Structure 1
């Protein structure tokens, strides 16, 4: 047991970050050097209810409490102490989505997550109205689509939130979110680091034409940049977080951020000319821009860093879900024969074996679409694996195909930035479950983008650690110290990660695969239309 860390925790100086991911809620406690010293997690899954992907309020709160409780247990096991106070807390969650509340703060309809692709008309009309791409998953697209659908609840909406903003609100009593999270609700003016006032006026005028007299500014939460305090933990918030009742109120809370922002922080990619790819249930690639893009692209979203710098994002709804499903089939196979192989060993061996496959996957192709994909034009998805009688169908090619499939939509989007816009990248970092097995996901991403890719040892801590770092920055930054400088000077220092460069054979193989993939999208279209 580390007595120094025990004393540090008991003094109430440790900092906590909690992130609501798509399949796991994770808590990371960090110490004086910003290193993770304890963690906890809770596994959960979204539900498809009335054709809407959602999580219930009960599952949100029970999941948060279980995650925090597991973190406390880890602290008890490692340091034989309890937590009564903390230096700071930060909450993060999957970006975007729609949580609408009435004047009594009652949720009007079930939380509509980022995964839903039900706002196409709203997305198209708002993009045209603003001359600014509005993705389907953004909060404003969900609100406007509900208006277009004449949904009964719209007239009662007084507060509009994302999941991260909702948690922050319930913990502090303040309706405040970070600028990066806010940029997934409504377009941000990068000069003011606040909502774009011209677009707010345009929306309110459009809403009135649709029959709704609303004040969007009053609906939306206030915006804060990294380093500002978004409120303090209330007595009620402390009791909802810690069911033991030990946690004391008054702890400063960092502005709630989305998983995009925490991913940037967790990979030290908040400066211009840096980028990162987060690959888990969904996958998105982000590049911090030096200047605005030359035109509006439906495939590219514009968000911001937690400090408010402009970021181009290619967001894909599907990444590892289909891969995980296949791994589970192999797990069932081992259990059928009473072979004791852990799930981690299965991932490792099958992923590594994939690298023995043909660079072009032996004329196989897969579509991992559990849900729709905006970039390739699908509102719904059907997982599909396709081969011809002449394809080289073996285990290595099978796994390599599924790994390629997990990054194919991302490649389609990022090629716009790298090839059409000529965006320059000094570094791109990979993080998330796809990169856990060394020499696999990282190498395939390098081949897909034809760009060197780095993975840090700390990247596996993910967004919860990134959120903890934002909370640490809030209370520990020096005067006028930027977030980028704080991360470089206080967190990463000399750590640059393990970098791999793309191999020409792999790059050529992925390009051949993506041609086959693009031609075969009609197969996916047929599956969506016929398999209901």
Structure 2
């Protein structure tokens, strides 16, 4: 598709997506062919304050404004025009967590992110009450745990939302969530694509003894499906987003979505029998189901696509953080030896070396539990490397075991879907830092899941591109056009990708490793208890 990019910018035939990831905030502006025109990013990190993983509000706004400014500056530098209008904007963020505000809009307690495993009591009670899996990181679990803890702020709650919902609210004045994001707050009724009214009633009955002035439906946002438009950028919001004052108000804003939903969109995996896996700081796989599961599983979350279809989600809190730390150590060693290696080159060399290791990693064992891991029932974690006297300890096996263990907890959940529930999965599409080194991440993932793993040429664009596509869909869809059809026929029709099939020796080696992984959890438990 050929078009004048400069004219598209000036006339607002563009879409902007901004996603708040766990380590980076990214803005991507796309044009009429859905390809990026400009981008900007801002690196940030969560803080561990008073035993809570959190991000401060100042950090949120500084990051948003910085990545937007970089993107707008790139527009001006490349095309010679200021960015004054945009066809549609979308905001996305890390799902779940706990953000609550009083009647004046003031935050009541610091943001509690998805990374906090501090709601075990609430999670168990709500799962039993609803007969529906409520993971610890879900927003409703955080709310109920705060009530059980008799925290002072609960009587003052006027509004509860997610990070993406908070940004959307402040920039538009509208308290809404996209259904995919909302499905990580509270269970969704698949018929109405709204919060489950029966379960809301059950929750209200459960908290009645606390004599609170609010009911759950009073404090939750409205739920919207992809393509619905209810919000636009306010005058105040335009100034918050663009501190230069060049961006005009009135731009349509699509429903805010979570990183799981934008990952599904960015990989074109929202149809039945498709799935995607996002692997970075955390790792989660999303599989679109043809039917409901036979029973409730602690290890499997049920969420939805941005269009409201049922999705099984296997989520692991820990993926590549410990592996990245080891690469950093090798980088430090290289510099000590006087070698100035590019970090991306170091990753490529080490990752490819892992393919030369023994299929089962030579008997080595590792856990990259930088934080707790709900899949294996750890509230805290300790990164751990273990070997026996007869293990084959070499560099190839060392890197291979850290690649394997990055997917260990995820595999426990996916085995439930693929082996116990016989869910049909034709392929899984990968995105995230784990797949940056060509072929290696795909081959390791294919070994873990025993299904073909594809990476699209657009996979590097990630969730910011995914939420930009959702904004474009809202603006450009035909009257009855579904999100699935829009993605298939317009966005991905000409997009290429690379598929890696599972190799039997790798699959068998991963299964051998997983036997050690499960048996060795007692070692990880001891490390948590003794390494304070």
**Band the TM-score falls in, shorter-chain normalisation:** over 0.9
TM-score, L = length of structure 2:
0.99
Aligned to 1:194: 194
Does residue 113 of structure 1 match 2:103?
A: no
Matches within 5 A, 1:384-403: 384-403=384-403
Deviation at 1:389, TM superposition (A): 1.7
Aligned position for 1:438: 438
Q: Does 1:377 align with 2:339?
A: no
Aligned equivalent of 2:322: 322
- CA RMSD between the two structures: 1.1
* Distance of 2:496 and 2:419 partners within structure 1: 26
Superposition deviation, residue 8 in structure 1:
1.3
2-structure distance, mates of 1:93, 1:338: 40
Give, in whole Å, the separation in 1 of the partners of 2:3 and 2:501: 42
Q: Which aligned pairs between 1:58-69 and structure 2 lie closer than 5 A?
A: 58-69=58-69
TM-score (norm: length of structure 1): 0.99
Map of 1:466 onto structure 2: 466
Query: CA separation in 2, counterparts of 1:366 and 1:69?
Result: 41
Question: How far 1:342 moved relative to its partner?
Answer: 1.0
Question: Could you tell me which residue of structure 2 aligns to residue 19 of structure 1?
Answer: 19
Deviation at 1:418, TM superposition (A): 0.4
1:47 corresponding residue in structure 2: 47
Aligned position for 1:264: 264
CA distance in 2, matches of 1:3, 1:294: 50
Partner SS state of residue 62, structure 1: helix
Once the two structures are superposed, the pairs formed by residues 20-419 of structure 1 within 5 Å of their partners are: 20-419=20-419
Any conservation in 1 of the 2:426–2:452 contact (CA below 8 Å)? no
1:96 and 1:215 mapped to 2: Cα distance?
A: 20
Q: Output the CA distance in 1 between the equivalents of 2:3 and 2:92.
A: 30
Query: Partner residue of 2:509?
Result: 509
The alignment partner of 2:480 has SS state of: coil
Give the gaps of 5 or more residues in structure 1: none
- Alpha-carbon distance, 1:340 to partner: 1.5
Alignment match, 1:479: 479
CA distance in 2, matches of 1:3, 1:77: 19
Q: Which runs of 5+ in 2 are unaligned?
A: none
Question: How far does the alpha carbon of each residue in 1:86-110 deviate from its partner, in whole angstroms, 9 at most, with x for none?
Answer: 0000000000000000011100000
The answer on whether the counterparts of 2:457 and 2:496 sit within 8 Å (CA) in structure 1 is no
Q: Distance in 2 between matches of 1:295 and 1:64?
A: 41
- The CA deviation at 1:496 is 5.4
Equivalent residues in 2 for 1:445-464, closer than 5 Å = 445-464=445-464
* 1:466-514: CA deviation from partner (whole Å, max 9, x where unpaired): 0000000001001210000000011000435211110000000000000
Given that 1:204 and 1:214 are in contact with CA atoms closer than 8 Å, whether structure 2 keeps it comes out as no
Please say if residues 204 and 213 of structure 1, whose CA atoms lie closer than 8 Å, have aligned partners that are also in contact.
Answer: no
- Secondary structure at the counterpart of residue 109 of structure 1: coil
TM-fit CA distance, 1:73: 2.0
CA distance, structure 2, for counterparts of residue 494 and residue 418 of structure 1: 30
- How many Å apart are 1:211 and its aligned residue? 4.3
Q: CA deviation at 1:3?
A: 8.7
Please tell me whether the aligned partners of residues 17 and 465 of structure 2 are also in contact (alpha carbons under 8 angstroms).
yes
- The 3-state SS of whatever aligns with 1:249 is coil
Q: Say if 2:426 and 2:451, in contact at 8 Å, map to a contact too.
A: no
- SS in structure 1 opposite 2:104? coil
Partner of 1:8: 8
2: CA distance, partners of 1:309 / 1:20: 24
Equivalent-residue separation in structure 2 for 1:461 and 1:106 (angstroms): 34
Segment drifting more, 276-285 vs 210-219 = 210-219
SS at match of 2:297: coil
How far off its partner does 1:77 sit?
A: 2.6
SS of equivalent residue, structure 2 residue 488: helix
Q: Is the 8 A contact 1:207 1:214 kept in 2?
A: no
Where 2:381 maps in the other structure, the secondary structure is: coil
Query: Is the partner of 2:400 in helix, strand or coil?
Result: helix
- Partner SS, residue 505 of structure 1: helix
Tell me, in whole angstroms, the C-alpha distance in 2 between the residues paired with 1:164 and 1:229: 16
Secondary structure at 2:135 match in 1: coil
Q: Deviations over 1:244-289 (max 9, x none)?
A: 1100000000000000000000000011111010001110001001
- Rate the CA distance shift 1:3–1:445 in 2: closer, same or farther, 3 A: closer
Q: Tell me by how many angstroms 1:390 deviates.
A: 1.4
Post-superposition CA distance 1:51-70 (Å, at most 9, x none)? 00000000000000001011
Q: Deviations over 1:99-146 (max 9, x none)?
A: 000011100000000000000000000000000000100110000000
- Mapped partners of 2:367, 2:78: distance in 1: 44
Q: Distance in 2 between matches of 1:211 and 1:117?
A: 27
